Amino acid sequence: MDGQMSQIQVSQSAFVEAMRQETEQMLSEVMAAVNRAPDGAWINASENIVRDRMAEYRRRTFEKALQMRADAAEGAFSPGGPGERQDVEKQGG
């Protein structure tokens, strides 16, 4: 690419909405891990759990963003090119 933005874009608000439930679940799990940690060991008892959950969330978030962009690109693609509709109309009538 030459630094120009692609014509195929996904609405940021659509992405946020698509990720809302998973985001809320991840945040709940983070707080639950910290709340389960015993006094005097909040960090030691929860840090690895939170780190692992955040890593998984980061991976899934990026996958979702890529999939939504790929789906948008696929929807914008016409296999026969711009003249396909005219060719079909000529064949049928």
Mean of the per-residue pLDDT values of the chain: 86
pLDDT band at 88, cuts 50/70/90?
A: very low
Residue 65, domain member (yes or no): yes
Over the stretch 52-71, which tens digit does the pLDDT of each residue have?
A: 999 999 999 999 999 999 99
> How many domains is the chain partitioned into structurally?
1
- Predicted structure pTM score: 0.72
Residue 1, domain member (yes or no): no
The residue range of the domain holding 50 is 12-72
Residue 47, domain member (yes or no): yes
Burial of residue 2 (number of CB atoms within 10 Å: 0-12, 13-18, 19+): exposed
Residue 36, domain member (yes or no): yes
Residue 38, domain member (yes or no): yes
Q: What percent of the chain has pLDDT over 70?
A: 76
Residue 86, domain member (yes or no): no
Residue 51: other Cβ atoms inside 10 A: 11
Burial of residue 93 (number of CB atoms within 10 Å: 0-12, 13-18, 19+): exposed
pLDDT of residue 4: 58
Q: What percent of the chain has pLDDT over 90?
A: 70
